[in-house]
Structure 1
């Protein structure tokens, strides 16, 4: 409504002109526009809220890959503000810009991309592995506006996948190792069976021929030689297996004492010379320093050298040569075993000390292939080392042992040399021995050996029978097996030591056992025995031990 005053010529008001306008339609239009504006603002707020509340980093780019919008998660991912990100190239915020740019092109080409992995790099250098899902978007006229992308942090998932992959690879490696170990074990037992059965076959065959009584004197001697040699081989094989078991369990120990290296080596050479002569192999010992002494286990040092020389004999043909040299090298003594045998290839050289199943050279020449590994371990237990060298196949091999000279000569000269000490060489000369052995065959052969050596023997099969015998006779020495029925050898010696000396309580005693570890020996000595001998029995060693103990009384 509008009002206008009407005036006359003297400018006086003579009336009013009233004009009314209907604004209803305009007001309705304005009200509707306001509602539309509010709905648009509400929609924009709602859309923004959705974008900001999303757990993924969201962004839009134009078709050239320039960022046009982002949410808070994208800011957190890059360490940049929204204003800094808008207008910047998408590829700038990833460790591999070329791959990032290729991702935008891929979306534009295929309209959609899922699980496209990139590594985002924040301003502070932090890296985050993300998986992108992206699609193109358009205006209402279907004109391309750009790319909408959502990036989800998959760093932990990738770490888990990597850890799972590594675990699977380790499991596969362990499975492969286990399979190889199983195959090696199967091969080992196959060869072990061969190494046990073949000598037994020879021994059994000769025993049956001997039993027939039709062998000539020469063949009888040959039969006894074969049986004795194979018995020694079987004993050595069992001892090697026990040593490997002790090494694996970490319980192999040394009985250390001052010893003369040359004396120990000479003993080994003399023991192996008949075998070398039989193969027509020249076995030479060269001693540059015979006075070198070490703090060592004489038996184990002899085992080291024996294993090396035996190995050399195995691979050296007839008319070949094996040289054993002893020399002092500064603060160490060096024992070198060289042969003119088959030699070792460079690839086999790396495995020559490994147990059976890994080195073809061993399998082709028989045996279990345990000796060199045992020798190296024994050398290392002495604080030394064992190494192998060869110029290749057909050029022989050289094994070098180095042992530390931990004992000064002035002090060592006063100490007995374990390797050089030998027992009495005469027989038992009527010395009385009480033998306690439950196995009838073993008891009979021990009795015959001791009687053949000039001894007097009283034999018993049980502890009760042995204690009863002590009430009737007074032997010079007791010789008892440890594995006896009902009451074992330990019970026997405890019962003996509980007796009054006048009733035999102080009679010296020797234990016979198939268990020859240091711990076993210590237990035997602690129980009351004076000596411990391993089966099979070496008669000269047994006789020497009996004479030594009997003469102490």
Structure 2
């Protein structure tokens, strides 16, 4: 029990200090809680926005691809006076719709005929084996019946003969396509292919075809010259499930509505129909244009979204901070109480001794608790006492303390002025404000600390200080800054990659479309036509190679590339690669020189992928070698390896870029300023294919204008027989058992 003190001795002495500590710690707790909550929400918003934009881009890009298919289909009718059912079926089969364009119901053609031409059309189609029955059967001035629709499965068979112009939603889209000359999407309809009990919402996209390969300029001319429409019907659920699977963004639900009105009658598709009662944390509505038709996309988060959020740690941080604040408040309040008892004990010796024992006991408990670092020191800087928490923090022990440890020994020179300011505040006001500084541990390591001190009541030059280690908090701040920098860099790399892909995929398409338009609108002689076809073919091959590079990179990143391993003669591989790249080299008058040792053995590998390695290196050399230059290929046997060297007299590689030459999407020039084509994937593919064969590849260059040399080393087969089966086993474990080309 506490002794009864005279009423005149119960005077409050600096009782504000515990409340000061409490307010400061609660304020720090609130700030930390707010910061963590804000950071968690920002991350969640970014995660949600990324899922929204990627889903939106996936839908837009897929439908743009299907519109391109319809545009190319119109070219079939433009290139021929009469397209038969067999011609149309062969064309669609060549597209491999089911495998290469999932979600599309088919590609069809509806022809425009007058009432007088109807019977002739039916007779002509019957000669081709098509039993056409036009429906609806009532008389009208013109008909737009479906005569071709491939693949002709049981659903599509139900659509043959249907006059789409008799239905107002389809007619509106057909009239817009006819009058503008562009692709036009219809509103929400029920397809005539819906022959089962479970029906899906659908829509159609039309592309007009004009007679005599004409290109009418006015609306009246287009209406007069209309031959028919190449079109595709889509079942919305099948299409959108094929574009965005349920597992891709399992924590985000999206619904697609026809038009701008969010209403049940306009709903085309909902990714998770069971999500109707969910209370989403984030919601976003956006629109996309599909062939002149506006779609509204409504995105909402699912319950799974919260499970990956960091917001769940906020209550723990808050209540933990409050608990620490209360502990500190209790400790400092006990300290103040002990000081009051010690000062009042001057008047009464017995009460003073009892109060002193109580104060000392409480103080020892406080120091021994080791919750935070606690020291007592004089105002000249000598540390008188310290608890174990403080000694562990600075790396010293009790012996060092007895030897005369000073806080000047712990404080770096740049923080000495803060200690001086704190000492002055303690002298004048009895306590100092909390401030941050650094301590130098005994091992020389620096640690950040939060420090606050106050004079011990009853003393003129002895103070007590509380020291909190801020190392973990500072590390968290550094980690958050690093994460922000990484996100910024990721966004920059994404923008660069998109710029490269956009430029590289658009360039050959522009060249092909330009020549196609010239061939359709002008009459060229045979030589000019051959040149046009050569340009179209060359750019089509460029486009194909770009897509193949992207696909190979994707397969390599996902571990789905399978190698057909067998003994391979590398000399024949090099010869085949040179034959492939020879036309490009001849165009630039570049000489390709080969040197092959006679004692070269075989390697254990995939001949096609080995040829791809050599072809990529040769293509790279030809691309960056000026006209009249030279490319040299050497094949040697060095120790237990076959060594392939590809050297050129091209522009070379700068020392700064040389370490990054095999990185994906990296080129010596930025995407907006580069002068050479390509996605920056070729050398990355080379490195990964070489490593899959157990080899290495390196690049050497003396700098710009001094050429470059690429060296590929592959282990000889005759020393690899023992490990062959193990290598094949590991290769097949990493990837599906099929050949991906």
Describe the shift of the 1:251–1:207 C-alpha distance in structure 2 as closer, same or farther (beyond 3 A): farther
Per the alignment, in what secondary structure is the counterpart of residue 718 of structure 2?
coil
TM-score, normalisation: structure 1:
0.57
Deviation at 1:406, TM superposition (A): 1.6
Instruction: Tell me if 1:333 matches 2:645.
Output: no
CA distance in structure 2 between the partners assigned to 1:353 and 1:70 by the alignment: 57
Q: CA offsets, 1:158-214, max 9 Å, x none?
A: 2431342243134223312321232233223322332442343355246436xx5x3
Aligned to 2:574: 265
Instruction: Tell me if 1:388 matches 2:699.
Output: yes
Aligned to 1:476: none
CA contact (8 A) 1:206 1:227 kept: no
Aligned to 2:180: none
CA distance in structure 2 between the partners assigned to 1:118 and 1:228 by the alignment: 69
Per the alignment, in what secondary structure is the counterpart of residue 150 of structure 1?
strand
Q: What does 1:78-477 align with in structure 2 at a 5 Å threshold?
A: 80=398, 89=404, 91=406, 95-96=410-411, 106-110=421-425, 111=427, 112-115=431-434, 131-136=450-455, 145-152=460-467, 154-155=468-469, 158-205=470-517, 207-208=519-520, 212=522, 214-289=523-598, 291-360=600-669, 363-407=674-718
CA distance in structure 1 between the partners assigned to 2:446 and 2:385 by the alignment: 22
Q: What does 1:509-524 align with in structure 2 at a 5 Å threshold?
A: 519=736, 521=738
Aligned to 1:443: none
Describe the shift of the 1:46–1:103 C-alpha distance in structure 2 as closer, same or farther (beyond 3 A): farther
Deviation at 1:51, TM superposition (A): 3.2
Describe the shift of the 1:118–1:43 C-alpha distance in structure 2 as closer, same or farther (beyond 3 A): farther
Q: CA offsets, 1:458-484, max 9 Å, x none?
A: xxxxxxxxxxxxxxxxxxxxxxxxxxx
Per the alignment, in what secondary structure is the counterpart of residue 644 of structure 2?
strand
Q: CA offsets, 1:68-96, max 9 Å, x none?
A: 78899999997649xx979x745179645
Instruction: Tell me if 1:45 matches 2:357.
Output: yes
CA distance in structure 1 between the partners assigned to 2:552 and 2:471 by the alignment: 46
Deviation at 1:367, TM superposition (A): 1.9
Per the alignment, in what secondary structure is the counterpart of residue 342 of structure 1?
coil
Q: CA offsets, 1:365-414, max 9 Å, x none?
A: 11222211111211111111221111111111111111111237999xxx
More relative contact order in 1 or in 2 (CA 8 Å, sep 6+)?
Answer: 2
CA distance in structure 2 between the partners assigned to 1:134 and 1:62 by the alignment: 11
Aligned residues: 373
Gaps of 5+ in 2: 1-345, 723-733
Describe the shift of the 1:294–1:51 C-alpha distance in structure 2 as closer, same or farther (beyond 3 A): closer
Q: Which one is further off, 165-174 or 300-309?
A: 165-174
CA contact (8 A) 2:600 2:642 kept: no
Describe the shift of the 1:217–1:256 C-alpha distance in structure 2 as closer, same or farther (beyond 3 A): same
CA distance in structure 1 between the partners assigned to 2:390 and 2:643 by the alignment: 71
CA contact (8 A) 2:375 2:464 kept: yes
CA contact (8 A) 1:287 1:325 kept: yes
Describe the shift of the 1:108–1:324 C-alpha distance in structure 2 as closer, same or farther (beyond 3 A): closer
* C-alpha RMSD of matched pairs (Å): 4.3
CA distance in structure 2 between the partners assigned to 1:321 and 1:100 by the alignment: 65
TM-score, normalisation: structure 2:
0.44
Q: CA offsets, 1:101-126, max 9 Å, x none?
A: 9777545533243336575979x999
